[in-house]
Amino acid sequence: MEYLELFDQDDHPIQQTIRRDELKQAPGYVRVIHAWCRYKDGHFLIQQRNKPDDPSPFQYATTTGIPNVNESPLDATIRELYEELGLNVDVKQCQFIDKILTSEGPYKTITYRYVITLEEHTLPTKLDHHEVKQVDKVPYEQILSMVKKGLFWDYATLLRDKHYFKTLEASL
């Protein structure tokens, strides 16, 4: 069983863990990562999710995940990219954008957002098909269009942060 570390609203550990299946009853916040992989030509690597229990099953998303106990958000970002997409990413490729605190809704989370600069222009081929159905390389405007059409996770709604995509765009 996977256990998650809990934090207070200021992102300090509260010395408590919970099982992943108890996330909705968590007495604290769980850290989450969003890894926005961007090619040098400005296109983004997106993945179609393949899990029926995802918040928005089978839609496209960026790479997301939850750090293991005692794992930093940056280390979790690098691990998730390798596990889900087979990408070997170096810390130097990762740019921290911000943290988003979500207190409302089914989960209390602190979401760390990173932009990862990808050197190669090819799509990854070593996918974890339990998590990822397929990948694509698209311009940012297409992601916004996909959100409006219900084809891409609407992080602004999921995280209760109406500026989610505007803040991301400003950081690019």
User: Structure tokens of 167?
Assistant: 């803040």
Task: Establish if 171 belongs to a structural domain.
Answer: no
Taking only the tens place, the pLDDT of each residue in 57-89 is 999 999 999 999 999 999 999 999 999 999 999
Task: Establish if 47 belongs to a structural domain.
Answer: yes
**pTM of this prediction?**
0.94
**Residue 48 clears pLDDT 90, i.e. is over it:** yes
Overall average pLDDT of the 39-55 stretch: 93
For residue 74, give its domain range: 3-166
Number of domains within the chain: 1
User: Structure tokens of 26?
Assistant: 């968590």
Task: Establish if 144 belongs to a structural domain.
Answer: yes
Task: Establish if 50 belongs to a structural domain.
Answer: yes
- Domain CATH for 37: 3.90.79.10
Question: Which residues is 46 bridged to in the sheet?
Answer: 136
